[in-house]
């Protein structure tokens, strides 16, 4: 059964990746907005923001990485919606394939596409002066956090992809996720925010994730932030996966 599932998922993953390969504008569109934010904040607002001795591009980059993923997952919802609307999913269900492999193919396609976008953003950041002396283990930890974060948001994107009644409805859900980093420590220290805003910023998931990545790249002690970040990502992943699978089985069952 497991071998059957893996083989079916791999075949459907290849199909989805070919679609992405024929539409490189997906990667381009996903990276344009985060890169534009990075250019704007570093070269226009960066001089007015006090982040201590740390270069602002180094301070800013973790938040930009999260925005890149939040921007990219809207395409997962869109592609799944189009497959549902076009009857392709129903056609797959009439074939002798593992039922959940359809969703996993979309999720893994999202993971590959978003990790590619993150690499592009990192290259631009390096050209803008980003530098890190972090070791291999720290970089692996950052990669692990970003992978878990991407999987969590992707499974969240599956839900509107299955339930939306229009293309706009399938992708518009990502807008609040894109702007959530603006009310966090991603762009400015939370100490500069007024009371209620600061309380929200310090207790929402983006801040702990951003602070963990920033600390790892800066070779600093991340303390409990990394465990809070992992708990947020894992919790969101479990909840989103459970809801997505329940909705999917109801739709195709």
Here the tokens at position 25 are 């504008």
State the residue range of the domain holding 159. Answer: 2-252
Q: What dihedral angle (degrees, nearest 10) is formed by the CA atoms of 65, 70, 74, 76? A: 70
Residue 90: per-residue pLDDT: 67
pLDDT for position 158? 92
DSSP string across 64-103: HHHHHHHHHHHHHHHHHHHHHHTTHHHHHHTSSS-TTHHH
Tokens, residue 22: 């024929």
- pLDDT at position 3, please? 58
How many CB atoms sit inside 10 A of residue 195's CB?
7
Q: How far apart are CA 28 and CA 35, in angstroms?
A: 10
Q: Collect all residues with Cβ–Cβ distance below 8 Å to 84 and sequence separation of at least 6.
A: 161, 162, 251
**Residue 168: predicted pLDDT:** 79
Count of the separate structural domains present in the chain: 1
Q: For each successive 10 residues of the chain (253 residues), what is the average pLDDT?
A: 71 78 70 90 81 86 94 86 76 70 88 91 94 92 95 94 83 84 91 91 93 92 88 96 91 71
Cβ contacts of 23 within 8 Å, gap of 6 or more: none
Give pLDDT, residue 214. 94
196: CB partners within 8 A, 6+ apart: none
Residue 225: predicted pLDDT = 85
């Amino acid at each position: 059964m497991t071998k059957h599932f893996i083989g079916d998922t791999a075949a459907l993953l290849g199909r989805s990746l070919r679609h992405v390969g024929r539409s490189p504008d997906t990667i381009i569109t996903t990276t344009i907005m985060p890169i534009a934010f990075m250019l704007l904040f570093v070269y226009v607002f960066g001089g007015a923001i006090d982040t201590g001795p740390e270069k602002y591009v180094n301070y800013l980059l973790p938040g930009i990485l999260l925005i890149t993923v939040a921007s990219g997952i809207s395409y997962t919802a869109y592609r799944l919606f189009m497959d549902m609307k076009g009857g392709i999913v129903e056609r797959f269900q009439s074939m002798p394939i593992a039922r959940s492999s359809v969703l996993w193919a979309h999720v893994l396609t999202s993971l590959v596409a978003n990790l590619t976008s993150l690499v592009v953003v990192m290259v631009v950041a390096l050209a803008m002066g980003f530098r890190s002396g972090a070791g291999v283990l720290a970089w692996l930890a950052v990669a692990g956090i970003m992978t878990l974060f991407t999987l969590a948001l992707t499974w969240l994107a599956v839900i509107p992809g299955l339930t939306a009644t229009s293309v706009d409805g399938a992708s518009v859900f990502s807008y609040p996720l894109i702007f959530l980093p603006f009310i966090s420590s991603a762009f400015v220290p939370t100490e500069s925010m007024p009371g209620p805003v600061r309380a929200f910023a310090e207790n929402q998931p983006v801040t702990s994730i951003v602070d963990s990545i920033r600390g790892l790249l800066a070779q600093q002690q991340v303390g409990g932030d990394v465990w809070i970040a992992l708990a947020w990502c894992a919790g969101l992943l479990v909840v989103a996966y459970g809801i997505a699978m329940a909705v999917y089985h109801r739709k195709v069952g």
